[in-house]
Amino acid sequence: MSTTLMASSHRSRSKTSRPVTSEIAAAEVLAWLSDCIHGGLCFVCKGLLIFENSQFAELVESVVSGGAAQEPTLRKRLLDDAIAWNERDLGARKSVEYHLAAPDGRSLHYDCRFNVVPYRGERGVLMVLEDVTERVRLAQDAAQVARFQSVLARIGTLGVSGVSAQVLMNEAVKETATALEVELCKILIPREPDGHLYIMAGSGLRDELIGKLTIEGGTHSQAGYAIRERMPVVVEDLRRETRFSASKLLTEHGAVAGMCVPMLVEDRVYGVMTAHSKRVRRFTQQEQEFLSTMANTVGTVLERRRHEETQMDFYHRLFLSAQDGVMMTDTTGTIVDWNPAMERMTGWTREEALGQRPVILKSGKHAPEFYERLWQSIRAGHPFVERFVNRRKDGSEFLVWESVSPVKASDGTTQYFMAILTDLSEREQMLEALRHTEQVKLVGQLAGGILHEVRNPLIGLGSLATHLAEQTTLPQDARDRCRLIAREAARIDELLESHLSQLRPRPFDIAACDLASVLEDTCTLLRPNLVKNQIVVRTSVSSDLPAVEASRAHILQVCLNIVMNAIDAMPGGGQVHATLTPEVRRVPGVLMRLADGGKGIAPEDLQRIYEPFFTNGKAKGVGLGLTITRDIVERHHGQLVIESPPGQGAVVSVWLPVRHDASRGIE
């Protein structure tokens, strides 16, 4: 019971005022007031009941206080309070609220205003009694609605905040238990195929039960019944329930009354949410609707999370298995993700790349304006697609087709930048190999023409000169000249045959080949030229160098061409450094590296160095040596690389697989 004292001091009146006792003097006045005042009216003076109207009598006789016989009735409580208030000064007023229980268990609320007034020279108490049950109920309902809405708003905010599903469920059961003023609240999720319900979150339960204890499903449990019926199941007293029995868990925790509501997501039952009290209780429709809304909210968030996680798992698997490189950066350009294809493409591992900036791939082949256009495009929300020359971790360059795009959030703001890199190196190598094949084919066709158009007349000239040299009727000096012509024709024919034989694709005689021995034979064959040009070849061979399966004659031709080019590059003498080391490139192999001390090769010439008949104008040959060399190496499934660092001589690297067949398809 709460009491409010509303006023008190009796104000003095002017001398012209009539005595107050003359204003309220008779019972007729009280009767008139009872007709004017809404509610029960009662007047008590000196402990005696002077007057009460019918409304007052009905109100005080309709209920008993607290529902217990030993407690005083509402009438007695009102009269006791009136007698006690009668001792106050004239004009004193207070308002008292009385909370009682009706025989049917309903809560009743009354408000009584006590006023001390004069009566026939004495003081009496005028009571105005009003039934405010409905008003209180409406206020309580409004407060409960506000409380429910606040709880739903908090859980909804958590649902979109990114917290884990377990945290969301834990907060949902805790907040629901508080809002409904119940001791037990839990979330149950059915698991296939046994149909049991797993406790995923709970309030008022022992912690060790969460995520481990299962409740048997089916219609013999309240939760299973709610799932089958797809509607809330409310029980006022489980001890009297006949549709199903209380679970062992509810019995052990002393649950008496409770609600079970299905968690419906797109017309599918995701689980069930329960709320139980340890006393007999009649849950209101509003409370049922709140629990249903909470259950559906949690179910919707959980289902969306499950769907998002499934999508994220799918996208993550795509990210990992993509053959194209994928790089993600934040809006400042810091790398935040790096897929395995990027590791293979660049040589940088994911751990090394994270936190770095894409500048680690910068080759220096693009002008600053190129990167300015890139940033202007993606910051404006547009993709940037262009060919890039990038640099690997080992310093080598590779060509990619790169698409850089902004990744936007639902509100349209850019959160990340994503770059997809398609490696064009292999494609360019294939195109270059195709061009080289066409060039070699062209050389072969040209050589065939030379063979037909030049060699046949040359043979005729040689034969005629030989015939004339045998004529005794000719002078001796004429016969000598004919013999010289015949010899030169034969020499030119042999020279043409030597060159043309290198261009005919002949099957290799594959056998174990010691590259150190091949290199030694090369130096022996070219010793006169090396000595004449004051050039020294210094060789370094690894002690564990394996033999390779190759055509020794053709590899000797490769070495001869390379060393002869080195001799041409150093007319003033110098050194050639040759090294032979094992090197694994997907398969075991041997790397032969020859570096001369010449002036190097100009960048514009380096791009055309494999073209047939290309020379820089200073070479003594016809420009077929490197074309033939490359063709031989690639037919061995090897790799030929020529580099010329600025200010240094040329470096020729020839890699050959140890086993001829093991490296098919890797070149």
Residues 6+ apart with CB under 8 A from 370: 386
Q: Report if pTM > 0.85.
A: no
* Same domain (yes/no): 106, 221: no
Domains: count for the chain: 5
Q: Residue 213's pLDDT is what? A: 63
Q: How far apart, in whole angstroms, are the C-alpha atoms of residue 177 and residue 185?
A: 6
Q: Residue 351's pLDDT is what? A: 94
* Same domain (yes/no): 556, 472: no
Domain boundary among 404, 423, 442: 423
Which of 274-283, 404-413, 654-663 comes out lowest in average pLDDT?
A: 654-663
Residue 320 lies in a domain: no
CB 239 within 8 A of CB 256: yes
Residue 321 lies in a domain: no
Residue 666 lies in a domain: no
Report the share of the chain in percent with pLDDT over 70. Answer: 81
Amino acid at position 486, single letter = A
Bridge partners of 400, per DSSP, are: 388, 423
Average pLDDT over residues 435-446: 62
Q: How far apart, in whole angstroms, are the C-alpha atoms of residue 300 and residue 273?
A: 13
What does 136-189 look like in DSSP terms, one character per residue?
HHHHHHHHHHHHHHHHHHHHHHHHTTT--HHHHHHHHHHHHHHHHT-SEEEEEE
Q: Residue 437's pLDDT is what? A: 62
* Same domain (yes/no): 254, 169: yes
Q: Residue 624's pLDDT is what? A: 64
Q: Residue 484's pLDDT is what? A: 82
Residue 418 lies in a domain: yes
Q: Residue 212's pLDDT is what? A: 66
* Same domain (yes/no): 564, 644: yes
Containing H/E element for 235?
Answer: strand 233-235
Highest mean pLDDT, choosing among 99-108, 438-447, 518-527 = 518-527
Residue 40 lies in a domain: yes
Residue 20 has pLDDT above 90, yes or no: no
* Same domain (yes/no): 390, 439: no
Amino acid at position 333, single letter = G
Q: Residue 6's pLDDT is what? A: 31
Asked, as a colleague might, if the bond just before 507 is cis with ω within 30 of 0, I would say no
CATH of the domain at 585: 3.30.565.10
What single-letter DSSP state applies at residue 18?
P
Residue 494 lies in a domain: yes
**Phi/psi at 214 (nearest 5 deg)?**
-115, 150
Q: Place 164 in a pLDDT band, splitting at 50, 70 and 90.
A: confident
Q: Residue 163's pLDDT is what? A: 82
Query: What 3-state class would DSSP assign to 99?
Result: strand
Tokens representing 342 are: 């990027």
Q: Is 125 exposed, middle or buried (0-12, 13-18, 19+ CB in 10 A)?
A: buried
Which of 88-92, 442-446, 663-667 comes out lowest in average pLDDT?
A: 663-667
Give the residue, 2 or 637, on which the prediction is more confident. 637
* Same domain (yes/no): 58, 183: no
What burial letters (b/e) apply to 133-168, b meaning 16+ CB within 10 Å? beebeeeeeeebeebbeebbeebeebbeeeeebeeb
* Same domain (yes/no): 438, 370: no
Q: How far apart, in whole angstroms, are the C-alpha atoms of residue 617 and residue 470?
A: 43
pLDDT digits (tens, 9 = 90+) for 566-603: 888 888 889 999 999 999 988 899 999 999 988 888 77
* Same domain (yes/no): 26, 102: yes
- Complete edge-to-edge strand list for the sheet that includes strand 268-277: 214-215, 197-203, 184-190, 268-277, 257-265, 233-235
Residue 462 lies in a domain: yes
Residue 565 has pLDDT above 50, yes or no: yes
* Same domain (yes/no): 572, 645: yes
Residue 451 has pLDDT above 80, yes or no: no
* Same domain (yes/no): 221, 275: yes
Q: Average pLDDT, whole number, for the chain? A: 81
Residue 404 lies in a domain: yes
Domain boundary among 438, 473, 503: 503
**CA torsion sign, 210 to 215 to 218 to 222?**
negative
Q: Which domain holds residue 526?
A: 511-657
Which of 21-30, 388-397, 463-472 comes out lowest in average pLDDT?
A: 21-30
Q: Residue 349's pLDDT is what? A: 94
Q: Place 229 in a pLDDT band, splitting at 50, 70 and 90.
A: confident
CATH of the domain at 35: 3.30.450.20
Q: Place 196 in a pLDDT band, splitting at 50, 70 and 90.
A: confident
Average pLDDT over residues 237-241: 88
* Same domain (yes/no): 395, 419: yes
**Residue indicated by tokens 């002077």:** 50
Q: Residue 538's pLDDT is what? A: 93
Q: Place 515 in a pLDDT band, splitting at 50, 70 and 90.
A: very high
Domain boundary among 442, 474, 503: 503
CATH of the domain at 170: 3.30.450.40
* Same domain (yes/no): 206, 238: yes
Residue 394 has pLDDT above 70, yes or no: yes
Residues 6+ apart with CB under 8 A from 104: none
